[in-house]
Amino acid sequence: MDRKKAKLTAKIILPADAWYDEKRKNADKANRSAKYWGFPVRLRNSGIYRGKGVPEKYNKIFFNSEKHPEKAVYREDHGILNHPIGPSANSLIGQGTKAHAKGSITDVPGVLVGHAEDKSGRTGCTVILYPEGAVPGVDVRGGYPGTEQTDAIKPGTATDLIQGVLLTGGSNFGLAATAGVVNWLAEHGYGTPTGVGPLPTVPAAVIFDLYYAKGSRRPDAQLGYKAAKAAKAGYVAQGSVGAGAGATVGKIYGTPMKGGVGTASWQIPGGPIVASIVVVNALGDIWDNDHIIAGALEPDGKFVNQTRAILEGIPPMLSSIRSRSTTIAVIATTAKLDKAEAGRIATLAHDGMARAISPVHIQGDGDTIFCIATGTDTSGLIGNAAVTAVGTVAAVVLEQAIVRGVKAAQAEIKHQQSTK
């Protein structure tokens, strides 16, 4: 084929949207279109890194198709970069499954939730109480956790029941809020009986919100006590409340967006209730089915898609401050479980976190999930069958809670902007 005919063939086969994307400088999509159709791409200002978004080289792309041979035009490259990057869009594994629209962790009878924030509104804590005592479990997946009493509730220890869990901002400083929750419970007679009064057990986990909450008073015993005092059944506030007040998402590249607290529940027909509450403070982006709903932003306000950026070899922008994050959650269920089974439920629930957040469980995250089992279910679902059923549902309700928490936080921001 002569040169003139080759050029004509290229013009016929090249999809029109690739030229349109080039004109609009939609660098990411134009680059993918070029790779798919086999057209070479020349990058300008290669390697310049400006500290936000993605490197400059992905902002200026143009095609050099005139010299391209016909066989490359017809090349069928169906590699991973030609498909949506992020959590699976397969609805058969839980994606798109909606928990009850008005469901919350307090749908588990006896579970109480309380929020408290610093007066700045940029940090706080959230307490989940089951004063009568629930069987605990925990699974820590992140590489930078901040927790308290997680070893005390693992199988083989003497702690059989706990009275609550604290989720708090303030990073390691925020663990001081646990004392306030313990004091409130003890004052009201809840805890393991001892010769000198009840001894409550309240494990805790923190998020790193110090960057967002800079200048705010860190959660302490007083704030923890306030959250415990506010704990109640019924409606649970979501968004930028409690431990989610200082939560943000999308911090490997670009500009982060607001995260927050979310909750969801599901009752297995004829079986136990399974519910979750989560503080979404992820380094990764938040995905709802096959699209990002919150995450790192480029200067023009578009999503970076951090998973794709890593796959394409863009160096992560992990500073000493922004590289610490964490998503923490509690699964509550009426199922009858022992500590080993409750721990396995927490492990399985991480699947929901992985479906809604990408990347997740990396070195800068301290991702931690607790499970509390009240044992009030009378369906007879026990043992391995209970672990399989409850664990699967736990992943779904946690995934949904993550999405709901971020959407609630973004809705608050839009409302504030509209009322200015």
320 pLDDT more than 60: no
pLDDT in tens, 219-229: 999 999 999 99
Select the more confidently predicted residue: 144 or 66: 144
Question: Average pLDDT over the chain, rounded to whole?
Answer: 81
- Quick check: helix, strand or coil at residue 288? strand
Contact 325, 286 (CB under 8 A): no
306 pLDDT more than 80: yes
Neighbours of 237 (CB within 10 A): 16
Q: Any idea where the domains of the chain sit in the sequence?
A: 3-82, 91-418
Closest CA to 46 of 229, 410, 396, 314: 314
What pLDDT is attached to residue 80? 34
What pLDDT is attached to residue 281? 95
Select the more confidently predicted residue: 300 or 77: 300
Average pLDDT, integer, range 235-244: 96
What pLDDT is attached to residue 79? 34
What pLDDT is attached to residue 68? 38
d(CA 212, CA 195): 44
d(CA 346, CA 107): 19
Average pLDDT, integer, range 332-352: 98
What pLDDT is attached to residue 415? 81
Band (pLDDT 50/70/90 cuts) for residue 38 is low
Contact 228, 222 (CB under 8 A): no
Instruction: Give the CATH number of domain 91-418; options: 3.60.70.12, 3.90.226.10, 3.40.630.10, 3.20.20.70.
Output: 3.60.70.12
Average pLDDT, integer, range 15-24: 49
Average pLDDT, integer, range 62-81: 34
d(CA 85, CA 266): 28
d(CA 197, CA 214): 39
273 pLDDT more than 70: yes
Band (pLDDT 50/70/90 cuts) for residue 96 is very low
What pLDDT is attached to residue 17? 52
The percentage of residues in the chain with a pLDDT greater than 90, rounded to a whole number, is 64
Average pLDDT, integer, range 321-348: 91
Which of 5-9, 326-330, 363-367, 401-405 shows the lowest mean pLDDT across its residues?
A: 5-9
Average pLDDT, integer, range 120-140: 96
Band (pLDDT 50/70/90 cuts) for residue 25 is low
Band (pLDDT 50/70/90 cuts) for residue 33 is low
Identify any residues that bridge with 266 across adjacent strands, giving them in sequence order: 274
Query: 3-class secondary structure for 74-133?
Result: CCCCCCHHHCCCCCCCCHHHCCCCCCCCCCCHHHCCCCEEEEEECCCCCCEEEEEEEEEE
Tell me how far apart the terminal alpha carbons of the chain are, to the nearest angstrom.
Answer: 64
pLDDT in tens, 184-219: 999 999 999 999 999 999 999 999 998 888 878 899
